[in-house]
Amino acid sequence: MKEPLFLKGVFKEKIWGGSKLQSQFNYTIPSSKTGELWAISAHKNGPSTILNGEYQGSTLDELWQSNPELFGEPDEAVFPLLTKIIDAEDDLSVQVHPDDSYGLEKEGELGKTECWYILAADEGSEIVYGHHAQTTEELEEMITQGEWDKLLRRIPVKAGDFFYVPSGTIHAIGSGIMILETQQSSDTTYRVYDYDRIQDDGSERELHIIDSLAVTTVPHKDPALNLKTDQTDSCTHTLLVENPFFKVDEWTINGNVDFTASSPYSLYSIVAGEGKLVIESDEYNCKKGDHFILPATVNEWTLKGNLHLIASQPGKVNQ
């Protein structure tokens, strides 16, 4: 069947979460502390469910196992990508993720390289991106002494900014920011600092200093971003990042745009507007807040209307 897979995601309540997933995206959220929507996920901690068609009711991880032809008969044991929308009402913890070799060895799952498309940012909001330590000894010293202002590199952000966050990068999303995150399918986070916050039960969240020191890239180095934008009458396209883990593209469509598959499958998240997805003679309405996968059975499609999308596809490790 040449059908898209529209997906229903899983919400995650967080100490730092808010209610913008409802007010901005019209989702029904579990509480006013909702931090994340795992929109396109096959991770065991929150798999998405197929909403339409032949596979309605299956979860994405089930489909990955049962119908590999939909994903181009992949070699990987697990669906490699995870798309989230994050609402940071408060600051997220300062954290770092391992690479694949450390993650697989220590945690039994992939490492996490991620990237952020900033959907909205309050005036004055900032992220933590990288650090100022020059050596691992200096990093350890500043963490032990709690010299956070000296250690952490803060960057002001605005809607439309994009950040590539390779594993080993110390980072934190600041309060007042909403992002669409594309990442490796992993849930391993090493917390460096949590602002000494107290949870409802009176405890502080666990920190992981030894693992953090082991995986942090020192000194920090900004990855080279090479954003490429091209424009036609009906669309603006920007290649945001391409690496062994994922390729991420931004599309702003006003009119009709025809696509031909450049990957076994691709993931789409509509972050603004509405329109239609057309596959042969079938039309599917789509709007802000919808997420879908185009499987390997769909080679050509058209998107029409006024749509702002973030698309991703698996990286090409052997390229």
* Cα–Cα nearest to 102, from 241, 210, 244: 210
CA angle at residue 17 from 51 to 273, to 5 degrees?
A: 50
The single-letter DSSP state of residue 54 is G
Distance CA 42, CA 48 (A): 6
CA angle at residue 107 from 102 to 113, to 5 degrees?
A: 55
Catalytic residue among 153, 154, 191, 197: 191
Residue carrying structure tokens 């000296």 = 150
Which residues is 275 bridged to in the sheet? Answer: 286, 305
What values do phi and psi take at 224, rounded to 5?
-70, 125
Q: Would the CA dihedral through 201, 204, 210, 215 be positive or negative?
A: positive
- Long-range pairs for 280-289 at CB < 8 Å and ≥24 separation? 280/2, 282/2, 282/3, 284/4, 284/6, 284/52, 288/25, 288/26, 289/25, 289/26, 289/27
Is 191 annotated as catalytic? yes
Across the beta sheet with 126-131, the strand order is 152-156, 126-131, 171-173, 94-96, 190-193
In whole angstroms, how far apart are CA 89 and each of 69, 94, 237, 318? 40, 15, 30, 40
- CB-facing half-sphere around the CA of 304: CA atoms within 13 A: 11
Distance CA 48, CA 271 (A): 18
Burial of 107 (0-12, 13-18, 19+ CB in 10 A): middle
Which residues participate in catalysis according to the annotation?
191
